[in-house]
Amino acid sequence: MTDSRTDSSDAEVQNALNPNPDALDEHDPNVARDPVCGMLVDKRTANDTLAAPVNEKGIGMLYFCSANCKALFEANPAQYGFSSL
């Protein structure tokens, strides 16, 4: 016999840890990956964006899952594999 409280709390924990809660498809052209945390972001609804550094050809716009990730990136883009802003 299983304890339903354990099953539901496990599901809640897994949902909280899910980096892709909206089940976004990384191959969808309307989806981008946050360069800081790796979370998938819907470009159409993203609130936190930043123009890519000019010398980063072919990237255009960077999309972030949150203002915190954007601030971390702006503070040190080199840490995430980009040249300075």
Under DSSP, is residue 51 helix (H, G, I), strand (E, B) or coil? strand
CA 7/CA 61 separation, integer angstroms? 41
Joined together, the tokens standing for residue 68 give: 């915190």
CA 37-7-9 angle, to 5 degrees, is 50
56 burial via Cβ count (<10 Å: 0-12, 13-18, 19+): middle
Predicted confidence at residue 36, as pLDDT, reads: 94
Predicted confidence at residue 12, as pLDDT, reads: 67
pTM of the model: 0.70
Low-confidence ranges of the chain (pLDDT < 70): 1-22, 54-58, 84-85
8 A C-beta contact, residue 70 and residue 61: no
Predicted confidence at residue 15, as pLDDT, reads: 59
Predicted confidence at residue 35, as pLDDT, reads: 93
